[in-house]
Amino acid sequence: MTVAAVVLAAGAATRYGGPKQRELLPAVLAALSQTAVAPIVVVEGAWTLEPGSNQVHGVTFVHCDEWAEGPGASLRCGLAALGHDVTHALVVLADGPDLDPRAVSRLVEQAGDAPMVAATYDGSRSHPVLIARAAWSTVPAAGGRALEPLLVDCSDLRPPGDVDHPQ
C-alpha cells in the first residue's frame, strides 16, 4: 500500500473572514510529517497559499481552478496530482489543525480492501478519510462525504477539529 495525502485547502473561508488555511495549514502539515504518508499534496483555490513557490518542505501545492464547484472538484484536483504508484489517498482538511497522527496510522492499518475508510469520534464521522484508488473515479461533486465508508473508531484520540470562525 502506497499512501499519499491530499490536504483540501481550496475554499474561500468566508465565515472565517480570510484565508484561514494560511494560519491552520502548518499544524496539519506538522501532524502529517509524523506519519509515513508521502507525498503530501495541498489543494489551493480561492487563496494562493505559497506565493511564488510550488514546492515547500516536500509539500506540493496544486491550484484547482474548479474549487468553487465544491469539495468534490477540489478532491479530484488533488487526486489527479498523485503519482500512478499511489494506491490510497489520505484526505484531510486544512482547517483541522488538531489532526492526530495516530488516527492516520489507524486508518491505514485497518483499511484492508475497503474502498473508503473514515475516522469517527464518539459516533460522528470525520477526518481523516482514506480512499483507495479504485474509488477515486466515484467521487461526486459533494466530495467524499457522499460516499459510504468503513468507519474506524478513533474516539480515544483527539478529533482534528473544523475551524470556521477566528475565535
The reported pLDDT for the residue numbered 89 is 97
Q: What angle do CA 21, 22, 28 make, to 5 degrees?
A: 65
Average pLDDT over residues 61-70: 91
Separation of alpha carbons 110 and 137, rounded Å: 22
Pairing type for strands 88-93 and 3-9 reads parallel
Rounded mean pLDDT, 157-167: 82
Q: For residue range 21-30, what is the model confidence (pLDDT) as tens digits?
A: 888 998 999 9
Q: Are 127 and 163 in contact (CB under 8 A)?
A: no
Q: What is the pTM of this model?
A: 0.91
Domains of the chain, CATH where assigned: 3-150 (3.90.550.10)
Three cell numbers, residue 127? 477526518
Spatial distance between the Cα atoms of 37 and 31, rounded to a whole number of angstroms:
10
Confidence band of 90 (pLDDT split at 50, 70, 90)? very high
Once rounded to an integer, what is the mean pLDDT over residues 86-101?
A: 95
Q: How confident is the model at residue 53 (pLDDT cuts 50, 70, 90)?
A: very low
What's residue 57's pLDDT?
63
Q: Where are the alpha helices (DSSP H) in 10-134?
A: 20-32, 71-80, 101-110
Q: Give the E-state strand segments of the chain in sequence order.
A: 3-9, 40-44, 55-56, 59-63, 88-93, 116-121, 124-132, 150-153
